[in-house]
Amino acid sequence: MKRLCVVGTHIAHSVSPQMHNAALADLGLSREYHYDRNPMRPKDVQQLIDDIADGQITGANITAPLKEVIVPFIDRIGGDAVQTSSVNTLYSHKGMVVGCSTDGVGFIKSLQESRIDIPSTRCIVIGAGGAARSICHSLLKHDVPNLFILNRNVERARDLARVLRSGGNASVVSGRLEEFPNYVRHSDMVINCTPLGMRGVYENESPVTDSELMNGLSVMDLNYNPPRTKLLAMAEDEGCRTINGVMMLVHQGAESLRIWTGREPSIGVMRAAALAAIDEQGRSHEKGRVRKS
């Protein structure tokens, strides 16, 4: 049995196993591959590389906070990850552990499904970690007119902006998250790339307040569990158009499966499995809160 897995420090609520295993079953590959969770701290990433190199693990999806941490340990980096230094997919090729990123592909496809006209959409990206790096790079590749990168740690935002501008992208501006009201007046879309809003520790948090959002904005949260985060709930109340992270999850996962198996997975099967798993976790979460109250 070939092992596939999702690797990160906070993956208890990840629905990637349900989504990928449903796709593998649909492809008739469930006796050959199995996908599971592999909790890991940053200091232990070398073990993951060793496990892929010796064949104990066939492929892995990398999530926060390891997308950048793991880069120096990889033998070869390909695709957009060369420019972003952020990796979310690992596999072995000709004895080398290879890293690439499918985040950008998944993100752009989710925007296209939502009928967002990227070349005419001025964007604020909140966050400057691995996911934000891939999202910013993809937006610029698709000719976004203006890109504002805001982060609590402004130095990380400035560093990311410098990297992006080195490719000739003069429309990239960085700032502090506290400056959001100044930038939102000149923006069409807000994209949350931080864990704020994710089920568990950060579920009741949002990177911005409701008073800072404006009617007419499109607001996307990469957090998909719960599908209606605090940010998206506030955005809906303010009359914004909202996009959750489910379809990005599905499309980036499908791209990873293509790399690992050479087969074309069903987007519909993966989406249905992801939504069912999120719904089940939501019901369990509510039961747990009722028992505690």
- Would you name the residues annotated as active-site residues? 67
User: Residue 168's pLDDT is what?
Assistant: 72
For the stretch 96-117, pLDDT in tens is 999 999 999 999 999 999 999 9
pTM of the model: 0.93
Token readout for 22 is 């449903």
Q: Do residues 248 and 223 lie in contact, with contact meaning Cβ atoms separated by under 8 Å?
A: no
For the stretch 149-186, pLDDT in tens is 999 999 999 999 999 988 777 689 999 999 999 999 99
Domains delineated in the chain: 2-102+247-292 (3.40.50.10860), 104-246 (3.40.50.720)
